[in-house]
Amino acid sequence: MEKVNIFDAMDANKRNSTIFMFFISALLFAGIVMLAYILDLGEIGFITALVLVLIYVLFAYYAGAKTILSISGARELKENEEPFIQNVVEGLALAAGIPKPRIWIMEDEGLNAFATGIEPKNSHIVFTRGILKNMKREELEGVAAHEISHIANYDIRFATLVVIMIGAIAIIGAFGWRYFVYGGSSNRKGKNAYILIIALIFAVLAPIFAELVKFAISRQREYLADANGAKLTRYPEGLASALEKIKGHATVAAATNTTASLFISDPFEKKFAGFFATHPPIEDRVKRLRAM
């Protein structure tokens, strides 16, 4: 069998992430233009809509981690709780050159974990009770190293921005659709029909395209975090073995569509996700790790 070099994903991931941010920013800008046009807001209205969207993005950006932790039902561990995982995370953070993240637990028997925050000095790692109970030392180190890598690579900031910007696009798209179908019949007569058709296409398709690209980038970032996590522990087999245990047992009751892409494995464990999968297949991830 031909070996797959896990580091082949790294350069492509960084390049694709940059392209994605330009793409999603352009979609968001187009949505604002569409919103201003169909409501006949003019230049003042366009500027107002732009300012409101920016305020939304900034507010959600800085409140994102707290919101994610809250809806996940996570509880922060005290310094004297779970000393083993405290020591593991502290050691790996030191090796990665970042401050020790705050550690949280979800009282769920599923095997899963995720990281969130804005930057390494204000980051959080969440483990389920199930993963702490069922992993061997080297497996838990592999999982923790994967999440530490997400933090050190600033994936947590990228993921927060992605969720927020796609959320804004979805809101604008949904409003545009409802206006076109229910609220704009009297105003549509005096407008260019072609422009309205473009606005309608945007309202329907933009959120879908944005989600598809987000899923593709999320999968690449999982490969990168696997690679860097294995470099931190210098033992790829630990994470590979952990992923094999996680497969089929990753379901988390408190997970949502918003938070699903943050987890180390799909917390819904869809069997036929295809393009809409937030994570690459575990078999592929394990194969890449064992090829290192």
Residues carrying an active site annotation: 147
Q: How far is CA 139 from CA 30, 67, 195, 238, 256, in A?
A: 45, 29, 55, 4, 26
Write the secondary structure of 264-289 as one string of H (helix), E (strand) and C (coil): CCCCCCCCCCHHHCCCCCHHHHHHHH
Q: How far is CA 219 from CA 20, 27, 182, 291, in A?
A: 13, 21, 38, 18
Q: Give, to the nearest 10 degrees, the angle between helix 155-178 and helix 8-38.
A: 30
Which alpha helices (H) appear in the chain, and where do they start and end?
8-38, 42-71, 83-96, 129-134, 137-152, 155-178, 185-188, 193-233, 236-246, 282-290
**Beta carbons within 10 angstroms of residue 7's beta carbon:** 14
Residues 277 and 270 sit within 8 Å (Cβ to Cβ): yes
Whole-angstrom Cα distance, residue 232 to residue 27?
Answer: 37
Tokens of 181: 């179908």
For the beta sheet containing 75-76, the strands, ordered from the edge strand earlier in sequence to the opposite edge, are 75-76, 102-106, 123-128, 113-117
Q: Distance of CA 275 to CAs 89, 208, 279, Å?
A: 33, 11, 10
